Amino acid sequence: MRKMGWSDRASYAHFLQVQRAARLALEIWAERFCPSAICPPRQSHLIERDLVALGVPPSGRVESFAIGEGANPIGFAWAMAGSSLGNRAILRDIELHADSKMTTAFLADPGMIAFWKALRPDLEQPATDLEAAAAARAAASVFDHFRKAAAAFAPAEAAA
């Protein structure tokens, strides 16, 4: 995702469009299949708010998502919660180097950081090799989903 950039409005809008397309599908999946105790908070509405503030209508594009059979949803939750750490790094980068008029409701959202802190005790519990492998498969499916969304989302759509 880093190669996308976010130092100017157009590249930041593209980044947000990809995030929205990917996260909407993840949020839909989580609401249906993720146990409530490890279900990450929704963030797509924050992305939409940032896009509107940038003067960019949110794309209608949504990527489909499912974790593989036998994958453990704790891995899904870990990948989603961990993304907040990357979001904080991006936020700092924007604050230091980018246009000060860029809105950052999504990147600055404290909800996912709070979720990460609440999830950590579950993540620190001992797991068998099979449980760890199932969690790793779920996490990998999230990472693959973001990569596919980034590859599929044409930059021209972000500027539209």
Structural domain spans, the chain: 2-159
Instruction: Say if residues 78 and 135 touch (Cβ distance below 8 Å).
Output: yes
Half-sphere exposure of 29 (CA within 13 A, CB side): 20
- In tens digits, the chain (160 residues) has pLDDT values of 445 578 788 889 999 999 999 999 999 999 999 999 999 999 999 999 999 999 999 988 787 899 988 999 999 999 999 999 999 999 998 888 766 678 999 999 999 999 999 999 999 999 999 999 999 999 999 999 999 998 887 655 444 4
Q: Please report the sign of the dihedral spanned by the C-alpha atoms of residue 35, residue 75, residue 85, residue 59.
A: negative
The two three-digit tokens of residue 29, written as one number: 């999946």
pLDDT tens digits along 107-125: 999 999 999 999 999 999 9
Which of these, 122, 17, 109, lies nearest to 76 by C-alpha position? Answer: 122
pLDDT at 3: 54
What fold, for 2-159? Answer: Heme Oxygenase; Chain A (1.20.910)
* pTM as predicted: 0.88
